[in-house]
Structure 1
Amino acid sequence: MPPRRSHKKSRSGCRRCKSRKIKCDEIHPRCGNCVKHGVPCDFEHPEVLAELQTAAATESPSTPASTVNFGSPISRYASVIPGASAIAAPLCRAPSTPAVSQTTPPGHRLLELRLMHQYTAMTCKTFTFTAPVTEDIWKITVPNLAFSGSQHLADAILAVAALHLRSMVPNDKELVRASHAYMAASLAEYSAALTKGIDHNNAESLFLTSALIAFQSTATRVFMKDEVMVGAGDGAGSSASRQRNQPSGCYSIPFSWFHSFQGVKAITAASWQYLRVSPIATQVINSQAVLQLDFTAGPKTFFGHLLEGMDEELAAMDDASSTTPRATPKTAPTSPTSHNYQPPDTPSAAAELVNSTRQAYQHAVAVLNWAHKIPHKGAPLAFPATVSRRFIELLEERRPRALAILACFFALLKSMDSIWWLQGMARREVLGVVSLFNSDFFGADAYRTWWPHLEWAMRIALYEHPSGGDNSEPIPADIWGADWYAEERALEEGLDHHGGYVRHIELLSQMSSAMQSIPAVPEFVPVMGNQG
């Protein structure tokens, strides 16, 4: 028998390390052992455990103990979120007879029936507000696929339905538990399915699950306690470079948005040989507005001002790369003005970095310009799915230009403020991003320098329809900067010459050899808070 692993006892280590009886390095917001094994760490979101403990402690004595099934995701929550086993255990009391253990408890059946009714009656319609033609797919076809044996799709359906109900019944602790438990289970099963590989049998369900995960990742932001998050990270950013560059006590960028929406794009790419012949997938894909990007318009476009001064910024980056000696091992590059910026090893690498940065900015601004014209068609949601990996790195580095672009993206979401999973998002996120320019992280002159590029985003984020008008009404063209419906007609005329979104993906698939890559699974980030 191998000797027992020795460890130094610690009273302040994370719960997962304590349960494994190993030494915890107590690094926040995620200890080294949890990073190594790729699992969540309760240092990241201690409020999750606190709220669940409160919910368990306040359960009514009359509540049936059998409301949680042994095989249900709610009982499996303990295996996904560290420390939750102590909460789940009292709710999973042993049945009095073996026969009962094989039966789903009535309370749990009622919960799932409630969630399924919510999904088919209401939630599925909130995914089709820009394309009612797909309502039957989300309402009928998707549940049927789940019933045919796709557990990750079934759990994703129930998770999103639970979130939707939480938005209407914010104090229901059962829904708090259910929304996290079902999504945690869905992500675990989704990850396992991807590990086994994508084929014609599971491509459709994996594609649809990835879309529901993206919806869930977006919706969880609705339940954030404050408009400006306080902390060192949002749980989605575990890289060392991101943590080093996160200003303390500042707004936290929702990187999970980008990861989940990029996951949909990656799934589509990796399984396109199967999805292209799927009537379900192609109809969902073709219901999306087709990207028609203009890279030649330059500064004359609506958001062209966001590229002002870019050449000077890139020149400074190039100079820093060529003149600063290397003294430490190479890590992810950060801002040239940052204290821990480390330039690339060679001139060619420096040139490649400058070029990729230029392309990342130009592409992101082109997507904004396109989405600004038809925001009511859901076009802004293409932004987190289509921006480059380099642009996400620039956000991780807290580059002012990338953050100004991000603020404009969030402002575009004002056009969908009537949708429950986007309600209030524009105001909260724009104010959060702008707060970074007022922080000590950028220095005293940052706000004044970048305000001309943030002014439109702030004006839109704070806009209120006169006389309490409906949030679904278009914002006047003189305030928004474009007539939504006139622009839509113009773009549709162009679409007649370019084909639908499926044709767009076909062309991309012919140009890229990366279509066979397997997408990374987004990390489960439980979000709790004051649901008021």
Structure 2
Amino acid sequence: MAQSEPAQHDLRGVSSANRSNGTESPQASYPASPALAFPDSDPLNILDHQRNVHLPSDLHLRDLELMHHYSTVSYKTISRHSAFMDSFQFEVPKIALSYPFLMHGLLALSASHLVHLNKDSERVKEYEELAFGHQTLALRLFRGELDNITPSNSEAMFAFSSIVTVLGFASLQTTGVQSLPPIDEMLQTYNLCRGVSEILQTSNPWLKTSNSWVPNVLASMRMPEKPLPADIEKNISLLFKLNSDLTVTGQTMEETAASENAISEISTTFQQVHSGFAVAWAFRWPICVAPIFISNLRDRRPMALVLLAHYCILLHKMDDFWWMKGWPRRLLHSIYTTLAPSWRDAIRWPVEVIGLSSPGE
């Protein structure tokens, strides 16, 4: 006697078992499940409560892609310091949920990084649009918070201030548009750094007295200071000597004092970086120099340009970051071509360290 075929089941029901000699298959003796009893029922109904929903159907997939990229890749490109990276992977995105300017900043950074990684991709224009859009919104919303820094938003202000300089350099890298000479672009970055410093000074008292993660991160980025290597000491001494010769520099006494302060601050920054401080401490130099020194840079005064050339060595230590890549070299080249030939020997050290072998580079 031929055996009956096995029952055929699917998600919507079950087919009748083939019968042999009019006898039902043994499976028929078991109680039927609702799905088997009603072939037209949907087993997914158990998950569908038939309630009215008000969620948008658009999942904002592009922004989800940006946040995924930020939380898995881009956060690691802001700093090499582990405590800083950990905070920007875990703490900062949580804070950004309450502060749209910070969320747009993180998404802008992620999109800019994707532009850098996909320069030859058909999606590069899409990423450029996302980077520009999120950065524009971030800055617009951030400006609205500047006059209202409070204990509650101080962490968000610190976090955004920490990435805004990165966004500035990233814009130069991703757009490929250099509307200003590199020296003037550096001056704009100086203004950005000085503005960030004012924000941090305002929020700093609240950050210190709260249970914030910020003070611990900043403290961990400092190391015991070590003496400068002899070659750096020698080249810094040459700068002091040059600056003191007013017949060569043509500076006033006030300008000489401002340049001397700038040399001292360069020396301090070299010492910090050499001691193992986070390389981002290099951004402190623009904050410490006097306004008259900034004016001399704007006017292309040679002594100021020589000091800026030496600062390029510190920026060059960040050259492996995608948002800084190649920029110190372009800046040094601009300084080299701006200086009169009689002054170029004064920047021999930066030229050798950075590898600017010829002015045509």
TM (norm. structure 1) is 0.50
Q: Contact between 1:155 and 1:182, CA under 8 Å: does it hold in 2?
A: yes
How far residue 251 of structure 1 moved from its aligned partner, in angstroms, is 5.9
1:166 aligned partner, one-letter code: V
Question: How far off is 1:281 after superposition?
Answer: 1.5
Query: Post-superposition shift, 1:386?
Result: 3.5
Measured against aligned partners, the alpha-carbon deviations of 1:289-337 in whole angstroms (never above 9, x if no partner) come to 369699xx9x95432222333234389444xxxxxxxxxxxxxxxxxxx
Superposition map of 1:472-487 within 5 A: none
Q: Distance in 2 between matches of 1:288 and 1:382?
A: 14
Instruction: Please name the residue that 2:221 is paired with.
Output: 288
Instruction: State how 1:15-414 maps to structure 2 within 5 Å.
Output: 103=56, 105-106=58-59, 109-129=60-80, 131-147=81-97, 149-170=98-119, 171=121, 172-195=124-147, 197-223=148-174, 225=176, 233=180, 252-278=184-210, 279-289=212-222, 301-313=234-246, 316-318=250-252, 353-354=254-255, 356-370=257-271, 373-374=274-275, 377-378=278-279, 379-414=281-316
Whether the 8 Å contact between 1:303 and 1:368 is mirrored in structure 2 is: no
- CA drift of 1:361 comes to 3.1
Name the CA shift for 1:288/1:277 in 2 (closer, same or farther; >3 Å): same
Query: Aligned-pair distance for 1:417?
Result: 2.4
Report deviation, 1:368. Answer: 4.9
Instruction: Give the CA deviation at 1:372.
Output: 6.0
Higher helix share: 2
Contact 2:305-2:335 at 8 Å conserved across structures: yes
Paired position in structure 1 for 2:21: none
Instruction: Identify which of structures 1 and 2 has the higher relative contact order when contacts are C-alpha pairs closer than 8 Å and 6+ apart.
Output: 1
The alignment yields a C-alpha RMSD, in angstroms, of: 3.3
**Separation in 2 of the partners of 1:104 and 1:394?**
56
- Distance (Å, rounded) in 2 between the aligned partners of 1:355 and 1:450: 17
Structure 2 portions without partners, runs of 5+: 1-53
Q: CA deviation at 1:275?
A: 1.3
Contact 1:251 1:436 in 2 (8 A): no
Identity %: 21
The answer to whether 1:456 aligns with 2:358 is no
Q: How far is the alpha carbon of 1:192 from its aligned partner?
A: 0.5
Alpha-carbon contact 1:162-1:178 (below 8 Å) kept: yes
Number of residue equivalences: 297
Following the alignment from structure 1 to structure 2, what is the Cα–Cα distance between the partners of residues 173 and 457?
36
Structure 1 alignment gaps of length 5 or more:
1-100, 235-249, 319-350, 438-445, 465-532
Alignment TM-score, normalising by the size of structure 2: 0.72
Amino acid at match of 2:67: M
Q: Distance in 2 between matches of 1:370 and 1:387?
A: 17
Deviation at 1:126?
Answer: 1.7
